[in-house]
Amino acid sequence: MAYPLAKGPFVERMFLEHGDPAPNRQARGASRFRPSRKEGGVSMSDATDTRKEPPRRQKVRHLPPICFLAANANLLIGWVRFPREHLGRVLEMDDGQRFTVFRHAHLKRRASGKPAVFVVRFKFARFSQAANRRLSIIPIPLIVGFPGFMDKLWMVNAENGYWQGVYQFESPAAVEAYRHSFVLGLMNRRAASGTLSEQVHPGTHLRDFLEPRNRL
């Protein structure tokens, strides 16, 4: 079933706010993403069999059309923002890979006492970095409209072609639900075989995750 993601104020605003795409550079031989033991990162790579299905009553709120409507409503009332504070910053991950932030989406939400940072890394199977950067605008309403979403940073390692998303959700339960979502499943299908990896950092605020990795 196709969903009408190419229209509406949300997508139109995104195309107006973001400038030229990232350089089209891609290489082979990138290292696999592994969790940091010292920071308590929990690896979810190849964890399909461990996923727990959310209760049926929650699935209605997680449906793409509902997320899309929620995102546009939040945008219209000013709760969805695209801060520029982190744009252009370079983050060095625990495996030495460096990623440059090119987009940040934030939903105005009361801070949770038990947030969770969710990190996804992969390489696209098709298209250039420039094309994929523009295509990555399309699912934004499904991301920011998902229950429990707080922040997402989009970033790319232009040297080896890997992309990375760093999210903050209000709870580990919200992360687990997002891992079952349509939008994450769509990303999984677009990733090159064997390149997708995930980490969950329970009880971690986004600012605390970014601070020790900031290299710019």
User: Which residues of the chain form beta strands (DSSP E)?
Assistant: 42-43, 80-81, 90-92, 98-107, 116-122, 149-157, 162-169, 197-202
Could you say which DSSP state residue 113 is in? Answer: S
What is the crossing angle of helices 64-76 and 182-190, to 10°? 110
Nearest CA among 178, 145, 169 for reference residue 70 = 145
Count of structural domains within the chain: 1
Residue 126: per-residue pLDDT: 94
Among 73-77, 115-119, 159-163, 185-189, the range scoring the smallest mean pLDDT is 185-189
Residue 59: per-residue pLDDT: 80
* CA distance readout (Å), 123 to 27, 40, 153, 192, 197: 10, 25, 16, 6, 10
Averaged pLDDT of the chain: 81
CATH number (domain holding residue 144): 3.30.70.100
Q: Is residue 14 part of a domain?
A: no
Rounded CA-CA distance 108/20 in Å is: 27
Supply the range of the domain harboring residue 146. Answer: 42-213
Q: For residue 39, what pLDDT band results from cuts at 50, 70 and 90?
A: very low
pLDDT reading at 17 higher than 80: no
Residue 56: per-residue pLDDT: 54
Q: Is residue 35 part of a domain?
A: no
Task: Confirm if 199 and 43 have CB atoms less than 8 A apart.
Answer: yes
pLDDT reading at 44 higher than 60: no
- What average pLDDT does the segment 119-143 reach? 95
In tens, the pLDDT along 78-96 reads: 999 999 999 999 999 999 9
Q: Is residue 10 part of a domain?
A: no
Q: Is residue 7 part of a domain?
A: no
Q: Is residue 69 part of a domain?
A: yes
Q: Is residue 73 part of a domain?
A: yes
pLDDT reading at 215 higher than 80: yes
Q: Is residue 93 part of a domain?
A: yes
